[in-house]
Chain A
Amino acid sequence: MKINCLLNNKQAFFNTYSDKPLSLLLTEEAAITSLQIGCGTGRCGNCILLIDDKPVLSCLIPAFSVAGKRILTFEGFTKTRFHSEIKRAYKKHQAYPCDQCYAAKTLIIHSIISDNMDPEPEDIIQALQVNTCNCLNYDELTQIVQTAAGFRRRKRRVRRS
């Protein structure tokens, strides 16, 4: 089955079979190296990417279902202006996700603050629960998200003025 989609803002064409997960398609055929396929069964939450701006577990999504959609992986995200806000927030709190979940947590944080620039701790915890890696605790994650949201709010104010 042939599909086309927008991968990291570039048109991409793939040939896929019926139940190939998106995670494998991207790692094996699109040379996406940031995807950490951990469990492959939807449990670890390390294979997160954004489809039409919403975080999804790419190991649970059949590749054919992304035809015509917009996919943003961590590689693509690092090229956006939003990445630096989250990086600064990690630095400010001297708390960094581990290598396994860095990409996934960063994309989830981006999606949280894209939805709501003043998120409540409960919303933050709920969203980040998808990733089961315990390298950062919820207090740290909540602080990081709120700091990153603050950076984004400030940037927006500066842009407006």
Chain B
Amino acid sequence: MNKDMSIHTIHHPDMLFGQLVRSSIPKGNIASISLPKLSDDFIVITAQDIPGSNSIKVFDETIPLLSGDHIIYKDQPILAIFGPDRESVHQATLQVNINYTIDEEPVGAVQPPEHETSMSWGDCESFFENPMNTIEHTYMTGNTSSVPSSPLGAVAIFKDSAVEVWATTQWPFHVRKTVSEVCGITKRKVEVYQNPYDHSSGGLLLEPSVMAALSTIAAIKTGKPAKMTSMDPVFRPELIVTKKTAVDQDMVPIAEKIEFQIHLGVIPLFADEILAQVMEGVIPIYHLEACSIQARVLTSPTVPRNYFFGFGFSLGLFTSAAHASHIAQLSLMNPANWLMKTVRNSTKRPKHLVHPRPALIKELIERTVERSDFSRKYAVYEMQRRRNRSISTFTGYTRGVGLASGFGVNGFSNTYMNEHNYSVEVTLDVNDQVLIKSSILHSSTEEIWKTIIQNQLGINSEDIAICQGSTSEVLDSGPDILNRDLTVISLLIERCCESIKNQRFKEPLPIIVKRSLKRSKATNDEMKKSAFAYFTWGSLALEIEIDPVSLNPIPMGVWITVSCGHIYDQDRLKKKIQARVLKELQAVMGTETRSTYQPHIDVEFHKDEDAITADPLPNILGLLYAAYTSAITQALNEPFTSIPAGAQQVFEFIGGKK
């Protein structure tokens, strides 16, 4: 079977198909379950049928696989039905009747925060006692759900007391561990193959493991291959950030109070990392004498949230860059000039935070301004804005242009990444060819690894291959969430290369080097020093026109200048950025269809050959959201502070204004 095949194409004549029955209440107990009459071709799996442990562990968090008697969130899986074809299984699930006793707590109540953190520098309060001016806005990233663009699923085949599993997973070793623990079989007897999965949603972590474990139970009980697929929507975390900035008479910020909360559903998975990343994102690049930040993670009896492109860094960056634009607009200065004036080095900023590089930012902004004709457009639309026109089909266009600039981080913060095991093996064989063994399926960062090997060992990229097989052939490189492949794996590959370099020409070939990052508990002091190892810097301008009939904010053009270290294949990276920006614009506009109009997307790379290669997308996406909302703000002459922002939001906004 080909591992590149979609999960749907894996088929066996006597295959069973499974479907989950989920809870319709957020909290309570199951009083009774009544099942329809089913023939012997069907099998029902409840919590009582699980041979091993009825739970899934992800790092330090545990969540039940199937609810026993107790429901802890809405849509929690209660049981699974497997049968000979999808339609009859679907019909059977519709006939399952579940009676609940409902907990008194109000539906959707947000539980007390479990993870909180704060940080500050300078004496913030003193600046707010007698400020010249304060500017306050609340930024929100809505509760956005999306249907994955490729199917989620798993297939299990049980043969000779061992099980083979195919799953659309980003972490095959997690599937293996879950199947082994849930089914009570040793890990050695579970072999997991990866099927392609939706990278754009960050790849889901829990769902493929749930489906693989349940399919395996069905396969073991019946001796037939079993498959489960799902197209259920997945949800992003919701972020609410309130920023209050004290500014001087020239509208230059002096101090800022930031409060944010991020909602993660029923389990606060990766909560500390999310707090670290959003924290890094919400801190502005402009100079501040003092700043205080309060942050917390909220949970509620709703489905666990998934991670889309970063543990919230891009969302945090959106709020800080959009806020900078709003202050710039109030200062009546061109935002490009305002940013260049307010970004400077500061000894006040704590060492563990990323420090802005004013010269580089200035250069990136200047390049973007020049290519986008930003200053002229901004002046024209600003003139229109100040005339305070309303949207009209008769009086021409309503346009705006936004500019945002900032840095991006990649992967886990240093301390977090040290807490989990990731391994990579690099082999230099007798033909001077290199093989990388890691459990990563996709090729988007392949070029970066190849560059590292090319630079370190002088091997041509055609002679470098990446082994992608089942769990028995590759090494556990951890979950593929959030460019982990860039940060941790790149670091490990570098270390392997260093070792190979030392042994080369002394030891006989092949030279095989394996490197792992092992769990090492960081002390509190070390935690304070935590920072990200990989950065990118960028500037982005975006022009929109509000369609007077549909009220859709239509992007007219996007200009991006980015500095992300040495680039192995510029054209490929440019295309990747353009495709991602288009997709993200659709998401931020709240449309799923591809419009006939595509904005011009101009990408320019700033040469910074000495910097470590890093993925510019988390940076670009945060800047894109910020420039988009700033452009709408200018077009509508009122601060627009949330995403998604499409025709419906513009309509509601105009209605509210009236």
Contact = CB atoms under 8 A, between A and B. Distances in A.
A138 interface: yes
Given A17-B87, A29-B11, A35-B9, 19 more contacts: A17-B88, A18-B87, A20-B85, A27-B6, A27-B11, A31-B11, A32-B9, A35-B8, A36-B6, A38-B150, A38-B151, A39-B147, A40-B231, A44-B149, A129-B595, A131-B594, A132-B594, A134-B582, A137-B601
A39 B596 contact: no
Interface in A2-40: 17-20, 23-24, 27-29, 31-33, 35-40
Contacts of B8: 23-24, 27-28, 35, 37
A161 interface: no
Majority DSSP secondary structure for residues of B touching A: loop
A134 B583 contact: yes
A135 interface: yes
A34 to B, nearest CB: 9
Contact of B87 (A19, A37, A39): A19
A129 B87 contact: no
Nearest to B599: A137
A8 B86 CA distance: 26
Contacts of A32: 9
Interface in B564-605: 575, 578-580, 582-583, 586, 592-596, 598, 601
B231 A41 contact: yes
B149 A135 contact: no
Interface string B596-637: 101001000000000000000000000000000000000000
B184 to A, nearest CB: 30
Contact of B86 (A23, A24, A38, A135): A24
A112 B6 CA distance: 27
B11 A28 contact: yes
B594 A39 contact: no
Contacts of A29: 11
Q: Which of B149, B583, B601 is most buried by chain A, counting CB atoms within 10 A of its CB?
A: B149
Contacts of A126: 596
A126 B594 CA distance: 10
A134 B594 contact: yes
B109 interface: no
Nearest to A122: B596
A100 interface: yes
Nearest to A132: B594
Contacts of B2: 33
A137 B601 CA distance: 10
A125 interface: yes
A44 B592 CA distance: 9
A18 B9 CA distance: 20
A41 B6 contact: no
A40 B592 contact: no
B473 interface: no
A138 B148 CA distance: 24
A24 to B, nearest CB: 6
Q: Which of B2, B4, B151 is most buried by chain A, counting CB atoms within 10 A of its CB?
A: B151
A28 to B, nearest CB: 4
A83 B34 CA distance: 55
B110 interface: no
A43 B150 contact: no
13 contacts: A17-B85, A17-B88, A28-B8, A28-B9, A35-B6, A35-B9, A39-B150, A40-B151, A44-B150, A129-B593, A132-B594, A137-B578, A137-B598
Contacts of A137: 578, 582, 598, 601
B5 interface: yes
Nearest to A140: B575
A58 to B, nearest CB: 11
Contacts of A33: 2, 5, 9
Contacts of B150: 36-39, 44, 100
Contacts of A41: 147, 231
B8 to A, nearest CB: 5
Contact of B579 (A37, A129, A134): A134
A53 B58 CA distance: 49
Interface in A33-65: 33, 35-41, 43-44
Contacts of B582: 134, 137
A132 B6 contact: no
Nearest to B598: A138
Given A27-B6, A129-B593, A43 B11 contact: no
A41 B560 CA distance: 33
Nearest to A23: B8
A133 B586 CA distance: 11
A37 B9 CA distance: 9
